[in-house]
A and B are shown apart, each in its own frame.
Chain A
């Protein structure tokens, strides 16, 4: 008697919940009740993973929140120029490029550029952020000032309008690197000096106090959007209808979406589910098997393999300070043991073209022209397990197997037992984990005792900088910059910033080419120093070829695939008009970075 009653109650409860659910389900289709109507809102995700912290533009890059933090976000604060990786051109933003040479870079400030409080963007603003390193060594942009001796300012007439002309004079003695200045110019976002100089003064010139000042939507900005709200689940930007660039850069048009929402997802699957459901319009995360989502309106740059435009090279860096990875033969054997096709097909879902030996991406973008096929054939190592075994045998390495036929360990030519080599990679990054797993399989098949060494991401970064690894999976390029591919070579090969194992280095994590050792190859540094100053294409090509040859012979690192700079994915369920290989009006990046910001003016609501 009682039982029936209780049972009915349970079923009724379940039905009730279901009803609430379905009620909600119908609701989601309409805009009613939402402060951010779907038809006016663009959802982009993949940059911000943690809780929003601060929108303070002076805060340390790693500590601040999209769109203020890391990356060349142009939505709230803007740089002087935007770099278009498709054609290598510099597009105007707060400034426009007048000229660049090995000695100086000249930029005119856009005469119409104004801050949201009405003040004009001035040379003082540029000098404030570029030269702040001369006042505060630990300012986020402190490094900028090391590359120029001064920024000269003069008043000029530009099409009849008076404006300020900035000349960045290249520092010749130490850095001598105009490429990096260009990188900085496209990546450093200008902040209103009249606000922040005052903040510094108010806080007794204490930068760390200023960095802690909370900043909200009322902050003085220059970009087309301002921060509207931020919770742990999302950051909301609202369009600034009085954005100066609408008239100056976009012929009076406004960006189409009134709101941009960056949902903060915590797992990879969340992105793909949201894209498939049409709840997310653009994303930049690795989503496997993107072709399975095409039926749900999820698109990429190419509509077939490799789907993405390559722009970055994940590599294994070997620790060259200890055996056996200090032996270039061993490193070359490793390079021959890894099945790059498996990496391509299984780990990165086929999102890579077939790769070639060397550090230059063959046939890709602006750098493709520096690739030399003959060199690659002659000096490079491709997947060839037999060759790997042969190189190892020739160099005196022997593999010892257990009774059941599995690899036990390896000995060097003196018969010394070699330790297991761990490939360090952040745990939970599924595509990277898969790369490592495939590599381990290949290496072990070739008789090399290697194992997966997945560590928490938080431990990965310090280990990388201090050289605390045997083999490390890393990606030298964060973005396609004016300095690419020089920056990649520099990141992998330079020993100009040499510091021993245990201290932090931001490049050459494997401590290749120790300047104090007998084997030091001065050519590497010579070429790395020379390339940024070269403007003759033939000479440049020659220099890259020489550098790439050294890379292939010495194999300080092993390139694994050609991946995109950003996994640019979009859904056409709500918004159309995205750039693709068929309509490449902007680089394949979400409309918040550099030259791709203009996508916002091109989008249309889907029918």
Chain B
């Protein structure tokens, strides 16, 4: 825990963290501050005004409401995908790295296999086949299920390095079972590393959701930042110079991802002693 606190000494982390907390607050408290409504409140693409700060969308809905809802959705996708990918990747990575031998070889091979096969292709193919009822959760699950490979590879390298550490050999010799060794002895050491991996996975999840929404394979049950951009593109907002249809959403995505990247990079600097120098 202490090492997490040292993060706050890094200005980069502080900036990233505040940015991220800011977006999080916007997503969570926004509905209390702003009157969130998805009803029609103005004409199509009404320009920004004092009442509607970012104007209206093609259906005359308030963009502030949509952006807050979209941000909630994007964060949800990011976190769900991140949790799935990190959990899967960490478990497989640790297990493989720790066990070694045939199990490791097999896990390693499967991991490399899915790293090499372009995941965007798999995501597109799967999303396309769920044409009805393609929910936000489903998309998050698909992203998570294809993104675990990177975590697995990264964690595996770390855990196989840890394996030879004295205290772990000792625990092993004393007959502790694999599960106990992993949870009691390996996971705590990897916590900071898994944290960094998780942060990156969240960022990737948010970007990937936006990407597949842009192709028109986004969630059908809610608005997300990706679908806002897709709507703007499909409705010709670009050629009419309706900047409020795509700029605010772009800025929000970029800020969230930037914040996460900052957190990750600063954490890397703090946790990785090499980079600290």
Q: A interface vs B, CB < 8 Å?
A: 267-269, 272-273, 276, 287-289, 292-293, 342, 345-347, 349, 422, 427-428, 430, 433-434, 437-438, 441, 451-456, 459
Contact = CB atoms under 8 A, between A and B. Distances in A.
A272 B132 contact: no
Contacts of B145: none
Nearest to A424: B132
A430 B220 contact: no
A245 B235 CA distance: 41
Contact of B128 (A293, A430, A456): A456
Given A272-B240, A346-B44, 11 more contacts: A272-B239, A273-B239, A288-B236, A292-B240, A342-B40, A346-B40, A422-B132, A433-B234, A441-B40, A453-B132, A455-B132
B157 interface: no
B219 to A, nearest CB: 11
Interface string B20-61: 000000000000000000011001110000000000001110
A456 B131 contact: yes
Given A268-B234, A288-B236, A452-B220, A346 B59 contact: yes
B contact patch SS: loop
B238 interface: yes
A459 B132 CA distance: 11
B239 A427 contact: no
A288 B131 contact: no
A459 B239 contact: no
Interface in B75-132: 128, 131-132
Interface in B137-185: none
Contact of A346 (B58, B233, B239): B58
A438 B44 CA distance: 13
B248 interface: no
A287 B128 CA distance: 26
Nearest to A428: B216
Contacts of A289: 44-45, 236, 240
Contact of A269 (B44, B45, B221, B233): B233
Contacts of B239: 269, 272-273, 276
Interface of B: 39-40, 43-45, 58-60, 128, 131-132, 216, 220-221, 231, 233-236, 238-240
B236 A427 contact: no
Contacts of B132: 422, 453, 455
Contact of A434 (B43, B59, B240): B59
Contacts of A288: 44, 58, 235-236, 240
A268 B233 CA distance: 9
B134 to A, nearest CB: 9
Contacts, number: 68
19 contacts: A267-B233, A269-B238, A272-B236, A273-B238, A287-B236, A288-B235, A289-B236, A342-B40, A346-B44, A346-B59, A347-B59, A422-B132, A428-B234, A430-B58, A430-B234, A430-B235, A430-B236, A452-B220, A459-B131
A273 B39 CA distance: 30
Contacts of B221: 451
Contacts of A422: 132
A437 B220 contact: no
Q: Classify the secondary structure of A's interface with B.
A: helix
Nearest to A438: B59
A427 B131 CA distance: 9
Contacts of B60: 342, 345-346
A526 B181 CA distance: 82
Contact of B236 (A269, A346, A347, A437): A269
A427 B40 contact: no
A513 to B, nearest CB: 28
Contacts of A273: 238-239
Nearest to A270: B239
Given A269-B238, A428-B234, A434 B220 contact: no
B246 to A, nearest CB: 12
B216 A427 contact: yes
Contact of B44 (A349, A452, A454): A349
Contacts of A456: 128, 131
A453 B233 CA distance: 20
Contacts of A428: 216, 234
Contacts of A345: 43-44, 60
Nearest to A286: B236
Contacts of A455: 131-132
A404 to B, nearest CB: 12
B237 to A, nearest CB: 9
Most chain A beta carbons < 10 A, residue from B39, B220, B239 = B239
A292 to B, nearest CB: 5
A454 B238 CA distance: 23
